Amino acid sequence: MPVFTEYSTSSRDLRVLPSFAPPVPRLSPKFKPEGSQEKYEVVIAGAGPAGLFLEVLLARYGLSDSSLLCVDAKPTSLKSGQADGLQPRTLEILKSMGLLEEILTEGCQMWEVAFWNPSSSKADGASGGIERTSIVRDVAVPARYPHEVTIHQGRIERILEDDLKRYSTRGVQRSTRVTKVHIDEEGDAEFPVVAEIEGPSGVRTVRTKHLVGADGAHSLVRRSMDLKLEGETSDFIWGVVDFVAETDFPDIRRRCAIHSDNGSVMVIPRERIATGEYLTRLYVHVQDEVKPDSDIAAEEGIEGENKTRAKARREKITMESIFAQAQEVFKPYKIRPRRDDAVDWWAAYQIGQRASKQFVKKDSKGINRVFIVGDACHTHSPKAGQGMNVSMMDSYNLSWKLIHSINGLTPHPAGAVDHILDTYQTERSTIAQQLIAFDKEFSYMFSGKIGTEDGKEGLTHEQFLEVFSTGNGFTSGCGIEYPDNVLVEQTTRDGIIEGNDYLQGVLRPGRRLLNVKVKRHADGNRRDLQDDFPSTGRFRILHFTTTDLLSPSGSSSTSLNAISSIIPLFPPGMIELVILHPLPQNTFVWSELPRVVKTEAEMRFHNGTELEDAYRVYGVSREKGAIAVVRPDGYIGTIADLNDTERVERYLKGCLREIN
Amino acid sequence: MPVFTEYSTSSRDLRVLPSFAPPVPRLSPKFKPEGSQEKYEVVIAGAGPAGLFLEVLLARYGLSDSSLLCVDAKPTSLKSGQADGLQPRTLEILKSMGLLEEILTEGCQMWEVAFWNPSSSKADGASGGIERTSIVRDVAVPARYPHEVTIHQGRIERILEDDLKRYSTRGVQRSTRVTKVHIDEEGDAEFPVVAEIEGPSGVRTVRTKHLVGADGAHSLVRRSMDLKLEGETSDFIWGVVDFVAETDFPDIRRRCAIHSDNGSVMVIPRERIATGEYLTRLYVHVQDEVKPDSDIAAEEGIEGENKTRAKARREKITMESIFAQAQEVFKPYKIRPRRDDAVDWWAAYQIGQRASKQFVKKDSKGINRVFIVGDACHTHSPKAGQGMNVSMMDSYNLSWKLIHSINGLTPHPAGAVDHILDTYQTERSTIAQQLIAFDKEFSYMFSGKIGTEDGKEGLTHEQFLEVFSTGNGFTSGCGIEYPDNVLVEQTTRDGIIEGNDYLQGVLRPGRRLLNVKVKRHADGNRRDLQDDFPSTGRFRILHFTTTDLLSPSGSSSTSLNAISSIIPLFPPGMIELVILHPLPQNTFVWSELPRVVKTEAEMRFHNGTELEDAYRVYGVSREKGAIAVVRPDGYIGTIADLNDTERVERYLKGCLREIN
């Protein structure tokens, strides 16, 4: 193409850079720190997955380095060990931020679980070893990504930090820790949280509107606020090891629950590493006679008299003892590290399930000031692959409520109690309690024996499988349900939604919107509906029109016209309209539709039945339609009849400030 | 999880970084430039999509900054205008390099084409305007990504350059151009190509083993080597404009071919930009009376006498005239830029189809020394969205042959004629000729009128659709076929492959391996088979085992055992084994299979019938099986019976050097 005349407007760097997330609008005055005191709107203590994820989210929502500080005691992100599992719901959310690709292609996709149990044919006498009982799908519930992904926690952190650096010059302030926190309203009512921060250049004091403790199981923030982890520590001791395996065990690349006469092992296949080899993680139940002293030892660090005893316990466990025990369980198969240097990391830990009842400390006026997220709120066993996920989801839940509050988008006047922010406690402590309950049951069963006939500890494979499968809604993250609150109107008029199999996608306030494939009207693009719900802090009205859509006086048109006058009541861009239609044909044109379809939803208007039947999946009738309001985090807020747009308006007025 | 004992090996940064492509092994001596003369193994002139893609590939294969230099006259990558379409085959290849995600999520996926023609109901007399005749799929052939993607060329360049910087410290040397090239064997037979390079700090002379001209339609490299573009320039003049449209035209988000009584327009929907708006590109047939002088004017620049006339032609075309003409064609719909500053770029060009017969200049010994790629080899109209694609595919084809030659992996001794490298000319000039032929037909038809009854120019919608659809195999890049040569054994024994619908996936030497979904044996992972064929410069043996796989003396076992002794004949890692099986069950274990399955293909051994029927798609019998050798670029090299492993060995010995 020999061009002989060419013109272009001024430099358009934004055309070539990766897209940035659009900031959330701010109605409150711009933050301008005054005086000599170092001040922020949010300080985050800790940059593990929970703290870093929160920082990334707030930075994407528009908080600049002058408003937002995140410090971490470690000099760099993690290089080995610790958490490694991402659940389907977490994958959906990472996708909604454009952060999933590397995880999906370079992590290990875990699609199947193999169950191994004591061999039924004990021909050789003493021990017949183990045999495979069955292979089942690892994720049994519908999800956009129907598998787990295992990948090094440090890599997740690196991916989050890479994204953070697109929005923040400072990034995480490393080798720096919060050493003291207290609330002092008299000193400065607007910035009442006072934190002492210790870094390479000494100790300094900062003030902030809000502080978030993402500082782990031994959280200083939690202890400073007099919040307590409550619960139990079991006697079970486990070893965990990441290594490149040399083995003839047939299922080393599947997740395995192995129950043998010699103990239990869980196999977690892991990602490929730079050598071209694949990592394997083993959780090994270590036989240990010394009982732990008390819960305190494990919770708050080991001090004083417990030290000696804890040391004795610790010293009993070595890498060699973990592998020796694993080898016993794997019989008749052999398993060992491929080379001497093929072990990446190992550790020993004790199973415990504890959670804090309170996740928030308020000031004297009732304003939420100090939050805790992640391990600071709940600790539990790692075997259901929940830790990193529930922690990041705490931050995900908190992030948009916090930015709405700071930016003056909630219906509450500045400096007053904010009921939107209150729901962090309501929603996430509910999940933490469910997590603890599930983990107790799962861990107990997993540490027990299968197939023994001697008394209480006996457990059939079917019982174990039952706990595994029914727990899948929870462990996948896809089945969690937030309780009724200002953001979740669980009482829906009878008959709007057909069915109650919410795990399969039927709409339910408090649950996430399942993904379906839809075909966009404007361009025929085959899309994932969840892509219309990116994590940009916006509410969405999901409108299921009916078969009468093309009738100008029909129920769909009437409803859409009513919706079109609700959207402008709120700050521009804060409510996006997504529309599905059930019509078999795609040949109608914009001029045959209510005007709002093109003006508000040109690129979010889809055929909802041609590729998958979204109406059936969601339990919506094609004749009656429905309206669902979806929160910024992808959870359903309320569901209304097409003609009940008043409910939509009322719900939104409870969530967002109106503009004049 | 309160860990109380923890251990990890030394810093493992590679665990957290994105994976790097593994370098291609080098048998030739390491490159150590000696003397004061600046020397390279490869110099690339031009860093548009073709040159930059070549540099990225060579850097990933392992050429360091001391071996590889790429210069470009522009100070930065492109910021507006020019090419914008990526075809399905290009998308597959970008995926094979891990470079697709941003393109796929942020580009405009073009799934449908709408055809608009003069309205049949001319009730209002003079002109009835246009009406939609039909909407069809934009990509009619099977492909992993069944759509085109349109996205700013500058963004592609930025994505390539970001990846380049992971492998190269220097990156592209900008504001620098090759000003002279000649071959001088007497001065230095190993580095016979001499290039004069002009940069910000002056002029310097470098020597190199190979030089690649990726310097566009007016290529200095091509002219210096006395290679000529041959072909015609038509009289048709077109305007092209990128802008944010304000329109009531119903299909502005679909690719449209509009034929009206007032001329033709092609609509190309484009990506969303930072404002949240979507770009549109229009190609507008501009009515122009002044004929061009000669082909030379368009090819070699406008000089001398032609200057005045060319200037006259140029000055007639303005942005306003393009929009005015477009508006005529769109009637009765209105179309204009949304705002005054909503026009990104515009240009006018003349359609021409020209290609060079020779893509290579050899030295006196017959060694391929100077190559041309991309627009330097072929120019044509932009409307079939081919330019950037064919150009990048030139580089893709050349890249692995060049690295194999440089690294001493081809069967030819160093300094001798390399028949592998010869195939660049054979293969890509064939494609260029097909491109020119297709483009001529398509452009001519597109510039013609539809539905006129007055003489030769009349063209029915059906005729146009026919050219569009049959051309789709070529334009998608999925149907191209390289001719018989040392790398393509097109003669296959009768009866191995059933069927001949190669576009639908039936195996055919010279064509790319279509993607299918397979289920991996080791872990149950549902995978895309193409992911086992990354662009890392390796050959692959794709082995279709039969239903007798579990029989130790069956044809599959015998064949696999023979293959296992072929692989070690060649440099380690240069031949990867990928195995499919047609067995309904997945419960067998490694010990029931030939040993080579686990040792060579543990993570590349798949159930080929459970998800999609790969055997049916590829035309392979489940009872007889087959072996296909796949080249590093994903094209089939040869196909053999299971028992004809000799053919496999012979083919590979023609491609790769044996080791002792």
- A510-524: per-residue pLDDT in tens? 999 999 999 999 999
| Beta strands A255-260; A245-247: pairing state | unpaired
Cβ atoms of residues B389 and B149 within 8 Å: no
Chain A contact set for B9 (CB, 8 A): 80, 341, 343-345
Question: Is A110 in contact with B523 (Cβ distance < 8 A)?
Answer: yes
Residue A606 CA, chain-centre distance (Å), reads: 28
Of B19, B79, B586, the CB nearest to A12: B79
pLDDT band at A448 (very low <50, low <70, confident <90, very high): low
Residue A124 has what pLDDT? Answer: 52
Tell me which residue of B511, B515, B538, B536 sits closest to B430, measured CA to CA: B511
d(CA B170, CA B205): 18
> Taking CA atoms, what residue in A is nearest to B148?
A525
Query: What would be the CATH architecture of the domain defined by B502-655?
Result: 3-Layer(aba) Sandwich (3.40)
What distances in angstroms separate CA B379 from CA B119, B154, B306, B444, B471, one per listed residue? Answer: 34, 19, 21, 15, 18
Mutate to test the interface with B, among A7, A295, A320 (most CBs of B within 10 A): A7
Size of interface A-B (CB pairs under 8 A): 227
Alpha helices of B64-174 — where are they, by DSSP H?
88-95, 101-106, 153-167
Q: Given A3, A19, A78, which is nearest B106 (Cβ)?
A: A19
> Which amino acid is located at A182 in the chain?
H
Which two three-digit tokens encode residue A611? 């590729």
C-alpha closest to that of B544 among B644, B622, B611: B622
Res B510: pLDDT: 98
Contact A80/B347, CB-based, under 8 Å?
no
Q: Which architecture does CATH list for B112-146+232-349?
A: 2-Layer Sandwich (3.30)
**Residue A228 clears pLDDT 90, i.e. is over it:** yes
Q: Which two tokens stand for residue B361?
A: 């200049």
B295 CB neighbours in chain A (<8 A) are: none
- B524 with A111: Cβ contact below 8 A: yes
Q: Which two tokens stand for residue A372?
A: 């805790």
Contact B2 A352 (CB under 8 A): yes
Q: How far is CA B647 from CA B495, B634, B639, B660, in A?
A: 16, 19, 8, 20
CA distance A589 to chain B (A): 6
Mutual angle of helices B49-61 and B153-167, in 10-degree steps: 20
Higher pLDDT, A313 or B112: B112
Q: Which residues of B touch A349 (CB under 8 A)?
A: 1-4
User: What is the CATH class of A27-79+153-228+354-441?
Assistant: alpha beta
Cα dihedral A156→A158→A163→A165 (10° resolution): 150
- Chain B residues whose beta carbon lies within 8 Å of the beta carbon of residue A276: 22
The pLDDT score that the predictor gives to residue B211 is 98
pLDDT at B298: 44
CA A632 to centroid of chain Cα atoms: 14
Q: Which residue of B has its CA nearest to A238?
A: B3
CA distances from B391 to B49, B213, B373, B405, B428 (A): 7, 12, 6, 21, 10
Give the model confidence (pLDDT) of A72-107 as tens digits. Answer: 999 987 766 687 899 999 999 999 999 999 999 999
* Six-digit token string for A439: 């983990």
**Substitution target from B1, B219, B377 for chain A, most A beta carbons within 10 A:** B1
Contacts of A6 in chain B (CB under 8 A): 81, 345-347
Task: With CB atoms and an 8 Å threshold, state whether A135 touches B603.
Answer: no
Residue by residue, DSSP assigns A279-323 as EEEEEEEE---PPP--HHHHHH---TTHHHHHHHHHHH--HHHHH
CB nearest A254 (choices: B302, B523, B587): B523
Q: Tokens standing for A431?
A: 């999940």
Which residue bears the tokens 């790969």? Answer: B614
CA-based nearest residue in chain A for residue B531: A105
**What residues of A are in contact with residue B12 (Cβ under 8 Å)?**
79-80, 344
CB contact under 8 A, A22 and B101: no
Of B13, B105, B152, nearest to A98 by CB-CB distance is B105
Dihedral pair phi/psi, residue A42, rounded to 5°: -140, 130
| Rounded CA separation B617/B556 (Å) | 20
Q: What is the mean pLDDT of residues A32-41?
A: 92
* pLDDT of amino acid B311: 57
Among B9, B14, B15, most A C-beta atoms within 10 A, so best to mutate, is B15
Is B525 close to A109, i.e. CB distance below 8 A? yes
**SS3 letters for A87-128?**
CHHHHHHHHCCCCCHHHHHHCEEECEEEEEEECCCCCCCCCC
pTM for the full model? 0.94
Query: What pLDDT is attached to residue A298?
Result: 44
3-state secondary structure A541-598: EEEECCCCCCCCCCHHHHHHHHHHHHHHHCCCCCEEEEEEECCCCCCCCHHHCCHHHH
- What pLDDT does B553 receive? 95
Give phi and psi for B312, each to the nearest 5. Answer: -60, -45
Q: What is the mean pLDDT of residues A241-267?
A: 95
Task: Give the start-to-end residue ranges of the domains of chain A.
Answer: 27-79+153-228+354-441, 104-149+233-352, 502-655
Buried b (16+ CB within 10 A) or exposed e, B540-567: bbbbbbbbbbbeeebbbbbbbebbbebb
* Structure tokens that stand for B524 in this block: 């149950």
Report the residue of chain B nearest A96, measured CA to CA.
B105
Which single residue is written with the structure tokens 């919040």?
A227
Distance of residue A341 Cα from the nearest chain B Cα, in angstroms: 8
B37-108+151-228+357-410+417-445 maps to CATH 3.50.50.60: yes
pLDDT at A301 over 50: no
Q: Do A2 and B341 touch (CB under 8 A)?
A: no
Contact A4 B345 (CB under 8 A): no
Do B158 and A17 lie within an 8 Å CB cutoff?
yes
Answer whether B19 sits within 8 Å of A109, measured CB to CB: no
* Interchain proximity A4–B302, CB inside 8 Å: yes
| Amino acid at residue number A295 | D
CA distance A188 to chain B (A): 37
The reply to whether residue B6 touches residue A254, judged by beta carbons under 8 angstroms, is no
Ramachandran class of A415: left when φ > 0, alpha when ψ lies in -120 to 50, beta otherwise: left
**What are the average pLDDT values for consecutive 10-residue runs of chain B, which has 660 residues?**
54 76 95 91 97 98 97 84 89 98 95 93 66 93 96 94 96 97 95 97 97 96 95 79 96 95 94 92 78 45 48 77 96 95 88 90 96 94 84 98 97 85 96 90 72 56 80 91 97 92 96 98 97 98 97 97 98 97 92 97 98 98 98 98 97 94
Per-residue model confidence (pLDDT) at position A6:
61
Distance CA A475, CA A387 (A): 10
Which residue is closest to B296 within chain A, CA to CA? A2
| Residues in A touching B18 (Cβ below 8 Å) | 102, 106
Beta strands A335-337 and A245-247: pairing type?
A: antiparallel
Report CB contact under 8 Å: A344, B18: no
Interface contact flag, B9 A523, Cβ < 8 Å: no
What are the pLDDT digits (tens) for A158-173? 999 999 999 999 999 9
Looking at residue B456, what is its pLDDT?
Answer: 47
Q: Which CATH superfamily is domain A104-149+233-352 in?
A: D-Amino Acid Oxidase, subunit A, domain 2 (3.30.9.10)
Please name the residues in contact with B624: beta carbons below 8 A apart, sequence gap of 6 or more.
B496, B546, B641, B642
CB contact under 8 A, A2 and B299: yes
Q: Quick check: B616 and B608 in contact, CB under 8 A?
A: no
Q: How confident is the model at residue A295 (pLDDT cuts 50, 70, 90)?
A: very low
Q: Do A15 and B80 touch (CB under 8 A)?
A: yes
Answer whether B350 sits within 8 Å of A587, measured CB to CB.
no
